[in-house]
């Protein structure tokens, strides 16, 4: 006789009571990695500064802002924490509940596979217009734009792109990795 497989299914209310670093993917808890290394963190801070500076000088009518490691409550059973996001709608409560305009993941050995597969699919499925993948090891960026068909296609990473009407950005790769 085979054993019955039990897979718990959690919701945001459960997630909010947990200790430690977690994400919640379709009701399944996903443990977060230990804090990223120094180079990962410096690349993230530099990119965050670039986004903040460019957004503050843009004419984006909705006041888009860059946020670092904030929870995005996708739905009642999914919470993720991208390394950076650009949001153009102020949250109604404590958490970001509307999709970001840009999600950024900075690859590390422990998150590379999740960021390149599961999170890419999750962001596309939930309509995130731009997904930026930063690879500190290769010193590269991959900028993805969501197409009409619901799949991402790659843009040249240093090309200008508009995250929101009037909210144009352009990233320079070299300064991020110095």
Q: Any idea what the CATH number is for the domain that residue 102 is in?
A: 3.90.1570.10
Q: Roughly how many angstroms between the first and final C-alpha of the chain, as a whole number?
A: 60
Residue 28 covered by a domain: no
CB atoms within 10 A of CB 59: 8
Residue 86 covered by a domain: yes
- Containing structural domain, residue 145: 35-177
Is residue 107 scored above 90 in pLDDT?
A: yes
8 A C-beta contact, residue 64 and residue 87: yes
pLDDT in tens, 39-70: 888 999 999 998 888 888 766 656 788 999 99
SS3 117: coil
| Number of domain units in the chain | 1
pLDDT in tens, 110-133: 889 999 999 999 999 999 999 999
Tell me which H or E stretch contains 134: strand 130-135
Residue 16 covered by a domain: no
Residue 30 covered by a domain: no
List the structure tokens of 117.
């597969």
Residue 10 covered by a domain: no
């Amino acid at each position: 006789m085979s054993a019955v497989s039990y897979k718990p299914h959690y919701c945001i209310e459960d997630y909010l009571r947990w200790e430690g670093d977690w994400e919640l993917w379709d009701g399944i808890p996903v443990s977060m990695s230990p804090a990223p290394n120094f180079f990962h963190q410096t690349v993230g801070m530099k990119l965050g500064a670039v986004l903040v500076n460019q957004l503050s000088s843009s004419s984006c009518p909705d006041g888009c802002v860059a946020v670092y490691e904030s929870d995005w409550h996708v739905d009642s059973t999914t919470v993720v924490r991208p390394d950076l996001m650009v949001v153009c709608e102020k949250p109604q409560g404590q958490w970001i509940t509307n999709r970001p305009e840009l999600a950024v993941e900075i690859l590390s050995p422990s998150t590379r596979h999740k960021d390149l597969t599961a999170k890419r699919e999750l962001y596309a499925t939930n309509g995130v217009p731009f997904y930026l993948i930063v690879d500190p090891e290769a010193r590269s960026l991959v900028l993805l734009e969501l197409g009409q068909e619901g799949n991402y296609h790659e843009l040249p990473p240093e090309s200008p792109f508009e995250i929101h009407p009037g909210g144009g950005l352009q990233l320079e790769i070299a300064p991020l990795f110095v």
